[in-house]
Amino acid sequence: MSSNHQMFQRAQTLMPGGVNSPVRAFKSVGGEPFFTARADGPYLWDVEGKRYIDFVGSWGPMIVGHNHPAVRESVARAIGHGLSFGTPCPAEITMAETISKLVPSIEVSRMVNSGTEATMSAIRLARGFTGRSRIVKFEGCYHGHGDAFLVKAGSGALTFGTPTSPGVPKALADLTLTLPFNDFDAATRMFDEVGSDIAGLIVEPVPGNMNCIPPRDGYLQHLRNLCTKHGALLIFDEVMTGFRVALGGAQAHYGITPDLTTLGKIIGGGMPVGAYGGKREIMNQIAPAGPIYQAGTLSGNPVAMAAGLAMLELIQAPGFHAELSRRTQLLVDGLQALADGAGIAFSTTRVGGMFGLFFSDEKIETYAQATACDTARFNRFFKAMLDRGVYLAPSAYEAGFMSMAHDEQIIADTLQAARSAFATLNSA
């Protein structure tokens, strides 16, 4: 089989930058990406046979580990009946019932095929329902690559220093207002000035694309209050946080009820999927129940539904999220202790099974603080960990993800690698 380098050389002649999603190119951290041949439990294996402990988890959905037998077997059963029907299928109903049971604010839902599609549809619905045009988002939050969202975006757009993207018309960008996350006063001022024009406010309740930054106490409730007061819809983008920070998502963890929620990742068990949903009176404006159009041939695909239902069943096991949170705490506490012992400015964040690593001695709560961290030192740490068989997100602006396949031995192995990796930073 070809080496990672040979594959990347081939790929660069056939795909932009050699990848099908920008952050995979390792451009931020330097070097070349590895190409995964297979995955199982907490591990990835590249095409050269090297094994990595994986803390990316396909960017979140692999909460029970890669290639879980229950998910795999559910997919195999579904495949036996066909890959795509283009008609309604029973699994769609079961999925909608399951989502509504676990996330009560979602009375009615619509399946789509990606998180981007879910968020694009949600803001169209917010505009159609309210009759207003403006949308509010936050610096460093990433809601997919829809035109309206590529205004001071996070994730790959932030990694490459292009907070706005060519190809996004200025007239459309002008309808997207941007706020600093965790700033109470800025949100109040914006709504006081233009609240009557705002259709909806969309937020990652725990941003995961300027690394992992939890909300300050009361901040999400403040946004809820502002939206209620000014007649705007509060949209929680729970593509990352949904079913990961708690069984009912971040809205259950923080006790906030949004008007609309977008989901993805876990509800597909790792297969392409997304969903949006919320209050019945709002969702019934979507065609064919109402006039706001949105459609998709592969929406509710029976194979993706089968994978997602198997995943959602697994994570409903008693104590699942408490144990996931405990293991995440064990990891970040261990990393913090190692960095402190090495005299390295370092801080961590954690919510449920998400975590953030920052080369800074500050408690990171804002976009400005995240972008002021020592990214060069992160890049060296990333490379040192990769050399030692631990795969972290290849960007200083991406959250990490724990799975239930990461047992205490895996965490101990990770900390052993980190001890050596931190030592290289002091010798550099």
Q: Quote the tokens at residue 275.
A: 């969903």
Asked if 380 contacts 425 with a C-beta cutoff of 8 angstroms, the reply is yes
- H or E stretch including 264? strand 260-264
CA distance 263 to 155: 17
Cα distances (Å, whole numbers) of residue 325 to 244, 245, 254, 322, 330: 10, 8, 15, 5, 9
Q: Give the residue numbers marked as catalytic.
A: 142, 237, 265
**367 alpha-carbon distance from chain centroid:** 16
CA distance 421 to 415: 9
The full length of the chain comes to 428
Alpha-carbon dihedral angle through residues 248, 327, 311, 142, given to the nearest 10 degrees: 60
- How many helices (H) and strands (E) the chain has is answered by 15, 14
Alpha helices by DSSP H, 170-238: 170-173, 184-194, 219-230
Cis? peptide before 88, omega within 30° of 0 = no
Question: With 0-12 CB in 10 A as exposed, 13-18 as middle and 19+ as buried, what is 72?
Answer: middle
CA distance 323 to 346: 25
